[in-house]
Chain A
Amino acid sequence: MSIYLPIAELSVNLFVLLSLGGAVGFLSGMFGLGGGFLMTPLLIFMGIPTNVAVATSANQIVASSISGTIGHWRQGLVDFKMGGVLLIGSFFGSILGIWIFKTLVSSGQIETVISILYFILLFSIGLLMLIESSQVIRDRIRKKTVKKKIHYHNWAHKLPFKVRFYKSKLYISIIPPIIIGFVIGVLSATMGIGGAFILIPAMIYFLGMPTSKVIGTSLFQIIFITAIVTLLHTTTTFAVDAVLAFFLIISSVIGAQIGVLAANKLRGEEIRALLAIIVLVVGVKIALDLLVPPEEIFNLSVLRVIF
């Protein structure tokens, strides 16, 4: 059964679409990641135009991050104040991101730039995950336990505009979280991602937030950043496909819940290594698509009123 996507202006197989949403949801539920970094390239592989894939992914992440936040919020693991400060940066970052996105669409470079960004992103994530998981596996075999530092003190503590974050037990300047938020905002608007995989390490290493509060807080802030990005896309690039988003949301929410259940039953490292390989394969495929000489070097697009 195929379904017509009004904004993407093409028909896709509904079963393929639901499987894609379910699979990405499953992985995100299992690893606690938003999954946007896999959703967008896979949608592009399906033939969805790049701008629609990016904008619709943002809308889908709103749903999956709400789903995820609820659990953390019930356990009191969300630092709303920190989330709010990050959001100030994200808001301005996303406005810059949308401007970059629009410029790239009108100059015809959006596909190329998105592909290159995704290649860099997926390749580095995949490699890091692979290294990390293989180390854990090796350490487990050697029966070593890794000592972890609880608190980091660095340059982030020396800047002005210091604010107390009670929940995270921090007294730091608001400048670093605003900068981090800004970067995430730019990436979210241009790539259709929540940015958890950058946000989480940044919150731990740059801000020194306690690990327990990090996931909930990042999910909380991702709800709002992706909501802002969705609205910016619907009003400026007109690229959010509500029909596509709807089916992705339903399937990914179900997939995520199954992923959470599966995560409790399976051993993490092996699965993480597997995910790392999937991520690397997707990254390499994106790069190869850019390198393969095209059959037709000309391409036609109809100018819309907005561009």
Chain B
Amino acid sequence: MCIRSTIFSIVLLLTINFHAAALVIGSDEEEILIDANFVGQDLLVFGAFYADPSQPRDEKGDLLIEVVGPPEDIVLRKKKSFLGFWLNAYQVEFRDIPGFYYLSSTTEIDKEFLNLNNIGILKTKKSPEIDWSSLTINWGRVKSDKDKREFNEALIRTKNQENLYKEVSDEIELLDGNLFKTSIHIPNTVPVGKYDVNVYLIIDEKINKQYSYHFTVTRIGIEETIYNFAFKFPLIYGLISLAIAVITGWSGAEIFRRFKKS
């Protein structure tokens, strides 16, 4: 509540004294811990924004909230029917695709604006020269522009199905015209790492104010320890797995042998 009252006072201060656009945000999570029972969590993003005190809100100033997960390399495969069997026939590899991407706005934002400002799942590297061809490691046998576009659309669609990609324009709740609140669902399928939250205040088709912060997603618990151990010390992990198998197999047979005798 302390943060909120601070925001209120800041907003008040700004509106009274400067009559200028302002954006202040706060959030309740700095670290999300994922354990075996994690079913997803809602990340609360709230704050205040002010375009111009003399205008009603819907005339001026839109909000855009972007959550960008850690980058990862992925393979997208397309199945094809071969003698009635569905086999993976084509594959395309992508580099530096955010493992999680969420874009929320107060109104529908047109594509042109997003492209211009490098906002979007494929634009998260804030560099104007980033485009599909540099994100793609290997197009494989996919050559035509039509097929490439199909893969681009499929990337968004498959990520969407895994709850790792979302674009919405009706989830930001506005209070009193100037305060906003939204909860962003972080599903249990998200990758671990650093997440960037970018909040933009858009006035007259331009980014007027930008506020960014980040949070981290960490996996914890015995399962995570096992996972890390398996990748860091594969031979020891294998030997332990074998030891468990040998001990359990042997003792199982022994216990039942004695049980049968008695």
Contact = CB atoms under 8 A, between A and B. Distances in A.
A189 B159 CA distance: 32
B242 interface: yes
Interface residues of B, number: 54
Given A6-B224, A257-B256, A112 B74 contact: no
Main secondary structure of the interface of A (DSSP, over half): helix
Interface string A26-43: 000000000000000000
Contact of B161 (A65, A243, A253, A296): A296
Given A60-B245, A246-B244, 11 more contacts: A4-B223, A6-B227, A7-B227, A63-B246, A67-B253, A108-B88, A108-B91, A227-B245, A231-B239, A299-B77, A300-B158
Contacts of B234: 234-236, 238
Interface stretch (A95-103, A153-161, A265-273, A287-295): A287-295
A62 B245 contact: yes
Interface string B221-246: 00110110011001101111110111
B86 A234 contact: no
Contacts of A85: none
B253 A234 contact: no
B235 A231 contact: yes
A299 B79 contact: yes
Contacts of B161: 296
Contact of B79 (A71, A116, A236, A294): A294
Listed from nearest, the 7 A-B pairs whose CB atoms lie closest are: A234-B238, A253-B252, A66-B249, A4-B36, A63-B249, A298-B154, A63-B245
Nearest to A25: B252
27 contacts: A3-B36, A6-B227, A11-B36, A63-B246, A65-B249, A67-B252, A108-B88, A108-B91, A112-B87, A230-B242, A233-B238, A234-B241, A238-B230, A240-B237, A243-B223, A245-B245, A246-B244, A249-B245, A250-B248, A253-B252, A291-B86, A297-B80, A300-B75, A300-B76, A300-B155, A302-B72, A302-B99
Which one of B72, B231, B237, B252 has the highest number of Cβ atoms from chain A below 10 Å of its Cβ? B252
A280 B6 CA distance: 69
Nearest to A256: B252
A296 B93 contact: no
A235 B231 CA distance: 8
A104 to B, nearest CB: 11
Given A62-B249, A234-B241, A291-B84, A6 B75 contact: no
A11 B35 CA distance: 11
A64 interface: yes
Which one of A3, A107, A298 has the highest number of Cβ atoms from chain B below 10 Å of its Cβ? A298
A7 B238 CA distance: 13
Contacts of A231: 235, 238-239, 242
A179 interface: no
A94 to B, nearest CB: 13
Interface of A: 3-7, 11, 59-60, 62-68, 70-71, 107-109, 111-112, 116, 227, 230-231, 233-236, 238, 240, 242-243, 245-246, 249-250, 253-254, 256-257, 290-294, 296-303
B78 A240 contact: no
Interface in B195-235: 223-224, 226-227, 230-231, 234-235
Which one of B77, B224, B245, B256 has the highest number of Cβ atoms from chain A below 10 Å of its Cβ? B245
A15 to B, nearest CB: 16
B122 to A, nearest CB: 15
